[in-house]
Amino acid sequence: MINVPTNICLNTLDGKEFDFSTFTRTHDCVIFIYPKIGEDFELLSEQLQNTAGMKGCTKQAINYKKFLKDFNDLGFMVVAISSQDIEAQKKFKEETSTGVMFLNDSEFMLERALELPVFSASNGHKFYFRQTLIIKDGKVRRAYIVDDPENDAKNMLEKIKEKDY
């Protein structure tokens, strides 16, 4: 369990700076971080292409939408974060219409601050591994690498219900 550092600012999808550190000190949340690799998938090593959880962003987001009220009723906000460019992230948000907050981390602030794992395609484009964080009282209680995107929301909801964080 680690405290969220006090200096993390991400961007909203309208390009405004968002104080992630303050937000996580005042809101319990589930953060799902997705790679949304797109065209760069073919530029990944064969090992990365075959890694569980590399695909499934849409299914993951739609299932968070399905369980959003349940998370909110338990006092947790759901936040989606990606390093993809903001225009692509806006398009993904529209396509999935999840109702969750979307933030952009193209500067990889979370990688540095929380030592989150990343990977790169052969063209140098960098991505976060698909992962989910449970943050409560300003502390990262759990960080999970997600290998089953479709069931991530359901799994996190169960952990929160059981207070397994």
Give the CATH number, domain containing residue 108. 3.40.30.10
Residue-level pLDDT at 41: 86
Number of separate domains in the chain: 1
In the chain, which stretches have pLDDT less than 70?
none
Which pairing describes strands 101-104 and 9-12: parallel, antiparallel, or unpaired? antiparallel
pLDDT for 36 equals 86
Give the Å distances, CA to CA, from 3 to 16, 25, 47, 55: 24, 9, 33, 30
- 8 A C-beta contact, residue 138 and residue 4: yes
Q: Which residue, chain included where needed, has tokens 């969750």?
A: 100
Residue 28, domain extent: 2-162
Q: What is the pLDDT of residue 38?
A: 80
Whether 153 and 67 have beta carbons less than 8 Å apart is answered as: yes
